[in-house]
Structure 1
């Protein structure tokens, strides 16, 4: 655990956890009344996902959740961050309530609590019901109200047992990649549609916060934002402009209005046509923590053929990476924590951090993943530095418990602490599982 201990030790009640999401692990896509999501449709659209793979079966968590909870218990985590699947609970997104879907999460939550693991429920992790997309989806202002109705149903059903709530996961990823760059569902590339989606998702967040406050006694509420430093690929004026605009879309378009009450300057004028009276007050609702998903910095370049004129650049050729091209830059993680503390003045929970690999079971039946261990060592050490510098970090969740369906990348990159054979569904804890278990144990009182 060298380098990962803050000078003054880990704060009392620091939360160690693991994260997943519904579409990435549950499977059972056509069982017990679940309706299709926009990702079910994207996955069956030719050449939109690596090897045309899908989350139809994924890790079969829907049936194997007791085994997965046992793995969490063995790991020693305090908490499990998961998402509720909107189309499993409301198959068309509204009106008809699917009791079988609600019952599944009852079983999951009760089993977590029985195992001594606190449930952290995320209401939305990218799986908009296809029925709502057919009505306009996030480009339709009414979608904020549909989300509030869904949030009300979940809060009333689970709020007696679930006290930690997240409205959305990675706002800018699913809006930018879904409505401006064709990298995610629903695969639209249109400026006006993208701007409407940004604003309506922000409205939905604010309405969701109000719903949770009203219906969950003692609720602790936050939202999960992906934040990475955005640097120009080359030190040219064009790439610097691209980096500045991508930074606002990627890092600021959601937390700034939600926490500070305004859109950032480069996109504020673009947003004006979509803002109605009272909207900004509805968006800027008090939250209890800032959820941070972070992996490494982004390099931007000018791309005049793209929707917004920016594109993803290459990291320096000598920089280490995950194995999937994502740069490993631990100092940028510490700096991001420091910037969040300065800008938003909220407690921070690291809701995702992790490393991909092409891990395989060896002849001895083990999965050795030293690259992931090194990554986690470096990044937790930088988190400790941020704590020493005064950042109020309340928890850390590894992405991910299991090797999951990784959206457009299919089952290629493996982020799990537990290897999953997606043919047999056999789970094999990796060496990083043992490392994380030892780290958690090292922070417990003697």
Structure 2
């Protein structure tokens, strides 16, 4: 193990953290009154998830959260980004709250604070209550009001202790893959529903911002976007057009209306029939930061068989990937951080960045993951270079604390700094966990 990343260049107060999400780690899917989500349903659709895996148990964080907080404390992180499961606190998505679910997050937040770690709460990380989907889900304009009511419940319950909130995580992913390319829940392919979902998620974000401002004194609010350069696979006009349209769906459809008050040009004309007077003012509400999830660029191609005519292309010959076909281009991470700063003029927090692997314990029970250490070294170096080039980056969260349920890929890809033996739940910090702890320690020493 080597901590090759320079600890210089990170200012005092730079925030180091780890991220997780509720459905990916909590388990206890049918315990203590939790209602089903669209991902519980998706997991039971034949072929919906690799190997028929489910989040029923996952990492059992619901019962083992104290152990996981101890792991975070050992890393020395300053913040923990997690999500509340909407169906755990509102089993039907609206109406009567679930006290046992609310109590769980009380215990979690209190324990995180007791460990000297700052809680960063994300309201929505893909687990829409199934009962709301049955009413139209994100394709129903009423969802913005349902989300606002949910946000009121969370803000009132936890806003005395939690001051950093994100409204939604990766809206481009769950709308595109949920309503146009059926790689995720709810697995629909319908252009009109996809367009309505985009607009209604943006309305929900704006409503959530207003709720949090009204109910949480001293709140700091952002949304978390997956922003990645989209590169045409060839120089053909078809591939260039496909890449430009995918760029609008992936990189601009949410931060542009939320922060600039406008949709990108191609999508604007398509979404306009679904808008009502005053919608953009409802969407574009003042926020304090922008969250970036980034793993590598997208190579795009024209594909007439898909809903919108674009698709994912193979990586260029010789391109490095990090285990599941995702490309490794740290210089594009650097450039994306600079672009976000210039375009949106907000502080940037890297809310997810990490590397997959097929990590297994050796004969002595240790888990060595040099590929992840190399990736994190390259990308944290690139982040430091972006900051030197003017990017206003205030913090960095590794995805993820734990190996976890990786949506449609099930339990195959492992992103964790901590290995999880899923049959037993046993946690084993990997060599990358020690690397990250050392980077945090050294950066704080240099900054001091």
1:23-62 aligned within 5 A: 23-62=23-62
Match in the other structure for 1:103: 103
**Deviation at residue 315 of structure 1 after TM alignment:** 1.1
1:236-247 aligned within 5 A: 236-247=236-247
1:95-119, Cα deviation, whole Å (9 max, x unpaired):
0210000000000000000000110
Q: Secondary structure at the match of 1:119?
A: strand
**Distance (whole Å) between structure 2 residues aligned to residue 233 and residue 411 of structure 1:** 30
Q: Secondary structure at the match of 1:311?
A: strand
**Deviation at residue 285 of structure 1 after TM alignment:** 0.4
After the TM superposition, which parts of structure 1 deviate over 6 Å for at least 4 consecutive aligned residues?
A: none
Q: Secondary structure at the match of 1:390?
A: coil
Match in the other structure for 2:401: 401
**Distance (whole Å) between structure 1 residues aligned to residue 353 and residue 262 of structure 2:** 28
CA contact (8 A) 1:152 1:215 kept: yes
Aligned length: 444
CA contact (8 A) 1:5 1:381 kept: no
Q: Secondary structure at the match of 1:319?
A: coil
Does residue 1:10 correspond to 2:20, yes or no?
Answer: no
Q: Secondary structure at the match of 2:202?
A: helix
**Distance (whole Å) between structure 2 residues aligned to residue 67 and residue 87 of structure 1:** 24
Match in the other structure for 2:248: 248
1:173-188 aligned within 5 A: 173-188=173-188
Match in the other structure for 1:442: 442
**Distance (whole Å) between structure 1 residues aligned to residue 194 and residue 377 of structure 2:** 38
1:355-374 aligned within 5 A: 355-374=355-374
1:27-426 aligned within 5 A: 27-426=27-426
CA contact (8 A) 1:4 1:382 kept: no
Q: Secondary structure at the match of 1:175?
A: helix
CA contact (8 A) 2:7 2:442 kept: no
**Deviation at residue 3 of structure 1 after TM alignment:** 4.2
**Distance (whole Å) between structure 2 residues aligned to residue 294 and residue 202 of structure 1:** 20
**Distance (whole Å) between structure 2 residues aligned to residue 426 and residue 221 of structure 1:** 35
CA contact (8 A) 1:418 1:433 kept: yes
**Distance (whole Å) between structure 2 residues aligned to residue 332 and residue 45 of structure 1:** 36
**Distance (whole Å) between structure 2 residues aligned to residue 265 and residue 4 of structure 1:** 41
**Distance (whole Å) between structure 2 residues aligned to residue 162 and residue 443 of structure 1:** 26
**Deviation at residue 389 of structure 1 after TM alignment:** 1.1
**Distance (whole Å) between structure 2 residues aligned to residue 132 and residue 4 of structure 1:** 48
Gapped regions of structure 1 (runs ≥ 5): none
**Distance (whole Å) between structure 2 residues aligned to residue 4 and residue 310 of structure 1:** 39
**Distance (whole Å) between structure 2 residues aligned to residue 94 and residue 223 of structure 1:** 22
1:170-209, Cα deviation, whole Å (9 max, x unpaired):
0000000000010000000000000000000000000000
CA contact (8 A) 1:38 1:186 kept: yes
Q: Secondary structure at the match of 1:443?
A: helix
CA contact (8 A) 2:27 2:62 kept: yes
Q: Secondary structure at the match of 1:94?
A: coil
**Distance (whole Å) between structure 2 residues aligned to residue 284 and residue 444 of structure 1:** 36
**Deviation at residue 2 of structure 1 after TM alignment:** 3.1
Q: Secondary structure at the match of 2:444?
A: coil
**Distance (whole Å) between structure 2 residues aligned to residue 295 and residue 274 of structure 1:** 32
**Distance (whole Å) between structure 1 residues aligned to residue 379 and residue 130 of structure 2:** 37
**Deviation at residue 65 of structure 1 after TM alignment:** 0.2
Gapped regions of structure 2 (runs ≥ 5): none
Match in the other structure for 2:19: 19
CA contact (8 A) 1:5 1:384 kept: no
**Distance (whole Å) between structure 2 residues aligned to residue 286 and residue 255 of structure 1:** 12
Worse-superposed segment, 143-152 or 230-239: 230-239
**Distance (whole Å) between structure 2 residues aligned to residue 138 and residue 332 of structure 1:** 32
TM-score by length of 2: 0.98
CA contact (8 A) 1:159 1:215 kept: yes
**Distance (whole Å) between structure 1 residues aligned to residue 185 and residue 354 of structure 2:** 23
1:423-434 aligned within 5 A: 423-434=423-434
1:238-277, Cα deviation, whole Å (9 max, x unpaired):
1000000000000000000000000001111001001101
**Deviation at residue 365 of structure 1 after TM alignment:** 1.0
1:53-99, Cα deviation, whole Å (9 max, x unpaired):
01000000000000000000001000000000000000000002100
TM-score by length of 1: 0.99
1:104-160, Cα deviation, whole Å (9 max, x unpaired):
000000000000011000000000000000001000000000000000000000000
